[in-house]
Each structure stands twice: as structure tokens, then as C-alpha cells.
């Protein structure tokens, strides 16, 4: 599958795709190509979508790499949902939470967009966008998937990537904690049009048909960058949180920076799921796993070196490598 030879006019290529095919991103392309090895373009549209809309397709490739990492065997003979796992009793459906139509897209970052606003408003906005993505895939399951023979009675995981704001990569997992477990006991959030968004979706049986949510705000171009072999004046800035409270700030040249494929990935388990997942399918040292009981008590796994919560990259290249 040739992902990187443009299929459309230059002005239709997504900003992030243009950055991916730039001379300075050879290592990024190698990583993405490795992720895509074995992936099947079932409808013949994937390459064009990767080049023109990018984020949702990138998320699917990343998820496929994660499944290969966990030896989850995807059956591509089914047109949908996105990932039917043959060797596990499992379905995974992917979606990205994108910016609002009237908002600045994440690839057009501005200083005010990543520095202004209090943390409550930032997380609120993100939680609302994530709620929209979650609801879309709940509706898709109930309307289109639930009665399919290869889907019904299997655990169903919604996999959400967060591209909701310019500063999405700095959000960690807080917006999902609000949305799914209502950790601050807020009950709901009020949108700008005065409608409300319910919180604590996994604190009742209202979504018992959804077994879990797999989530990341760090499965980005930056993930492929740090996993690749690009060198030069590339500085990685990251924050890990150890034992849920100790903040570890990291700043290092990319040659010294360490991050794994599954660092930054989260699994939120629904205690009311009628088809529970086997958590052992996802246990390793890097995924942060949230397990709640029906009383709302929450148990969270902790990476021994700290869970990766935020990361951004500062790169400087000669002009000839930016064309």
C-alpha cells in the first residue's frame, strides 16, 4: 500500500500529510509504513483519506500497530466494524474527536490557542468534543452493528483519538475521566448553546453495550517521530506522572528520548458492560488502565517510570529540508 505518493492535487493534501512527506520526515514515514504492513484497504478509499483528512486514518494505522503488538489478529474479510479480532472475542471501532467547524484546526496552532484559557474550560471543551465522537460510535453500533453475526455478543470497544483542540496533546486523560466516570461529580457540562452533555457515562447501565474505551491524545505525527530514526535538532518535551501524583518533566534531544508504541494509551473499562473485555489482552507496562466498580470507585494502573501524559516536539531543520 503506497501511502505517500500523492493521489490528489497539492492544494487538497492535508497539512499533516504534507509534513509527513517532507524530506525531514523519512524516519516518520518508515514508522508509518511499518504500522501499515498487513493493513487492508477494504473500500479502496483509505489512501486518499489518509492524504486528505489524515488524522482518522493515522489513528487506524496506529491502532493496527498496537493490535499487532498485542498479537490481536484482525479479520479484514468483514467490511465493518473497523477491527474484528479473530483470535479474541473482540470488536474495536475507531474514531477521532476533531475540532468544531468554527474552531481553529489543531494543525494551525496559535500562541493564544495553546496558552490561553483556564484548565477547566480547556478540559470541558475537550470532553464535549469527545462526547460527540463517543455518541457517534454508540449510535453506529446500535443502528448498524449490533445484529451482525460477527459482532453480536462480543465485547465492543470504541477507540477515540483526541484532536479536538490546538492543545489536544497537552490534555492527558482528564477529559475522558470526566466523560466516562465523572470524577468531579459534576453530572453534566453546559455547551455554548445551553444544551447539556451528560458525564459519568460508565456509572450506570445506560451504555452497557459499550465494553470499554481505548484512548490517546498522543497517537500523532510526534509518536511516529519519536519512534523513528530521524536525528538532528529535535527536542522532545514530555510530562510523565508517577503514582498518580508525582510530575516528571522531561526535555531531551530525540537521540536520548525514550517512548514506546503504547506509551500514552489509555483503556477505560465499563463496569456495567454486558460483554466485558478480557483486560489481560491489554496489560503491559505502558497502557494506563482505568477499572471502576459499579459504586464508582476507581482503580488505576501506574507505570513504574510514570505514565506519559503530555508530549510536544520542537524541531529545527535547514531550509532545504522543509520544502
Going through the chain in order, the beta strands assigned E by DSSP cover 83-85, 90-98, 156-163, 188-190, 196-198, 212-216, 233-242, 246-253, 266-269, 288-292, 298-300, 307-316
- CA–CA gap between residue 9 and residue 13 (Å, rounded): 7
| Residue 78: inside a domain | yes
Q: What is the DSSP string of 113-154?
A: HHH-S-HHHHHHHHHHHHHHHHHHHHHHIIIIITT-TTTTTS
Residue 126 has what pLDDT?
A: 86
Task: Give the side-chain half-sphere CA count within 13 A for 46.
Answer: 17
**How much helix, strand and coil, in percent to the nearest 5, is found in the chain?**
35, 20, 45
Residue 209 has what pLDDT?
A: 98
CA-angle at 145, arms to 141 and 146, nearest 5°: 80
Residue 321 has what pLDDT?
A: 47
Residue 323 has what pLDDT?
A: 45
For residue 230, give the C-alpha cell. Answer: 530521524
| Residue 154: inside a domain | yes
| Residue 3: inside a domain | no
Residue 118 has what pLDDT?
A: 63
- The total of structural domains in the chain comes to 1
| Residue 5: inside a domain | no
Its pTM stands at: 0.92
Look up the domain containing 26 and give its range: 10-321
The SS3 assignment for 271 reads coil
User: Cβ-count burial of 207 within 10 angstroms (0-12 exposed, 13-18 middle, 19+ buried)?
Assistant: buried
| Residue 205: inside a domain | yes
Residue 193 has what pLDDT?
A: 87
Phi, psi dihedral angles at 229 (to 5 degrees): -115, 20
Q: What is the mean pLDDT of each run of 10 residues along the chain (323 residues)?
A: 96 94 95 98 96 96 97 95 94 85 56 57 86 96 96 97 73 89 92 90 97 95 95 93 92 96 96 96 88 91 91 72 46
- The order of strands in the sheet holding 307-316 is 246-253, 233-242, 307-316
For residue 41, give the C-alpha cell. Answer: 484497504
User: Do residues 179 and 199 make contact, with C-beta atoms less than 8 angstroms apart?
Assistant: yes
The owner of cell 479479520 is: 75
For residue 268, give the C-alpha cell. Answer: 477505560
The SS3 assignment for 188 reads strand
- CA–CA gap between residue 110 and residue 105 (Å, rounded): 10
| Residue 167: inside a domain | yes
User: Do residues 39 and 3 make contact, with C-beta atoms less than 8 angstroms apart?
Assistant: no
| Residue 312: inside a domain | yes
| Residue 1: inside a domain | no
Amino acid at each position: 500500500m503506497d501511502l505517500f505518493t500523492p493521489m490528489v492535487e497539492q492544494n487538497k493534501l492535508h497539512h499533516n500529510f504534507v509534513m509527513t512527506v517532507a524530506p525531514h520526515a523519512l524516519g516518520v514515514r518508515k514508522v508509518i509504513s511499518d504500522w501499515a504492513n498487513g493493513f487492508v484497504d477494504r473500500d479502496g478509499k483509505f489512501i486518499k483519506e489518509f492524504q486528505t483528512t489524515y488524522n482518522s486514518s493515522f489513528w487506524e494505522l496506529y491502532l493496527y500497530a498496537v493490535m499487532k503488538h498485542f498479537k490481536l489478529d484482525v479479520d479484514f474479510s468483514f467490511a465493518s466494524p473497523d477491527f474484528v479480532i479473530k483470535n479474541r472475542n473482540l470488536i474495536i471501532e475507531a474514531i477521532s474527536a476533531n475540532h468544531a467547524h468554527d474552531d481553529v484546526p489543531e494543525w494551525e496552532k496559535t500562541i493564544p490557542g495553546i496558552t490561553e484559557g483556564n484548565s477547566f474550560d480547556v478540559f470541558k471543551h475537550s470532553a464535549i468534543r469527545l462526547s460527540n465522537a463517543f455518541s457517534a460510535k454508540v449510535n453506529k453500533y446500535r443502528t448498524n452493528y449490533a445484529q451482525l453475526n460477527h459482532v453480536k455478543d462480543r465485547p465492543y470497544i470504541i477507540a477515540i483519538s483526541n484532536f479536538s483542540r490546538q492543545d489536544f496533546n497537552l490534555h492527558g486523560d482528564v477529559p475522558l475521566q470526566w466523560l466516562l466516570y465523572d470524577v468531579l461529580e459534576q453530572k453534566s457540562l453546559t455547551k455554548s448553546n445551553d444544551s447539556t452533555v451528560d458525564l459519568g457515562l460508565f456509572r450506570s447501565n445506560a451504555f452497557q453495550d459499550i465494553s470499554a474505551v481505548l484512548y490517546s491524545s498522543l497517537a500523532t505525527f510526534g509518536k511516529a517521530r519519536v519512534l523513528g530514526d530521524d536525528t538532528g535538532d529535535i527536542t522532545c518535551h514530555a510530562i510523565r506522572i508517577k503514582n498518580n501524583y508525582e510530575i516528571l518533566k522531561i526535555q531531551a534531544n530525540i537521540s536520548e528520548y525514550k517512548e514506546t508504541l503504547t506509551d500514552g494509551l489509555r483503556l477505560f473499562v465499563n463496569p456495567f458492560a454486558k460483554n466485558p473485555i478480557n483486560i489481560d489482552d491489554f496489560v503491559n507496562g505502558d497502557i494506563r488502565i482505568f477499572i471502576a466498580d459499579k459504586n464508582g470507585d476507581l482503580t488505576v494502573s501506574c507505570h513504574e517510570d510514570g505514565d506519559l501524559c503530555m508530549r510536544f516536539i520542537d524541531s529545527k531543520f535547514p531550509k532545504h529540508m522543509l520544502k
